Chains A and B, each alone.
Chain A
Amino acid sequence: KAGVTQTPRYLIKTRGQQVTLSCSPISGHRSVSWYQQTPGQGLQFLFEYFSETQRNKGNFPGRFSGRQFSNSRSEMNVSTLELGDSALYLCASSSAGGEADTQYFGPGTRLTVL
């Protein structure tokens, strides 16, 4: 079974631009979560989608948005990029997002904002 894939792997943008990141979950998984990881900060939860609906949301500004398609693939969009948005963005999929569900991570997209 193929793992979680994320594209692109690396991205360089300038302040004020916008960016779209893509995540394809493991086949059969319906839940996709997005995280931001910066050095020393741990994983910061952005949002979770399940069956095309946003089920949970973290404490990030409205510049961060996402969506999920009927095939469970998900996209994350960041508008009006700021220098502080430079980070590794990880997506994780799980079968249904239940209590014992294990999240499986993709390799991440490393975003650099200049």
Chain B
Amino acid sequence: GQNIDQPTEMTATEGAIVQINCTYQTSGFNGLFWYQQHAGEAPTFLSYNVLDGLEEKGRFSSFLSRSKGYSYLLLKELQMKDSASYLCAVRAGDGYQLIWGAGTKLIIKP
């Protein structure tokens, strides 16, 4: 079966660093995406990893280990506007369908 696991909720402090983990078991692997979704809004693209390693994009970085079926999203210098749900999605299988995790709700406290 296809499965993606993320923590349901995390809390962090403004200005701090937080790491959101994502583990996956899928039939085939063709890349992993991270999206941000603010309450009541559509998901917006953050990052894409297909090779092992770290991809850095400003305050956000994403890491992938294909052998471990593991990724994380690292958010630095947290701001209140980073309060949102973060969705992990894996493109797997012959149909290139995206398999989605349930999302991690990140709460930022002052």
Contacts and interface: CB of A to CB of B under 8 A. Distances in A.
Interface in A10-29: none
Q: Which range holds the interface residue count of chain A?
A: 20 to 34
B102 A41 contact: yes
Given A41-B102, A42-B87, A105-B42, A100 B31 contact: yes
A74 to B, nearest CB: 16
B97 A48 contact: yes
Contacts of A4: 42
Query: Which range contains the number of B residues in contact with the other chain?
Result: 20 to 34
A64 interface: no
Contact of A45 (B33, B43, B97, B103): B97
B12 interface: no
Interface string A26-42: 00000001010000111
Contacts of A35: 100
B42 A90 contact: yes
A99 B98 contact: no
Interface in B82-96: 87, 89, 91, 95-96
Contacts of B89: 43
A108 B38 CA distance: 13
Interface stretch (B44-52, B58-66, B69-77): B44-52
Nearest to B35: A105
A98 interface: yes
Q: Which of B42, B44, B101 has the most CB of A within 10 A?
A: B42
A42 B102 contact: yes
Interface of B: 30-31, 33, 41-45, 48, 50, 87, 89, 91, 95-103
Interface of A: 4, 33, 35, 40-45, 48, 55-56, 58, 90, 97-100, 102-108
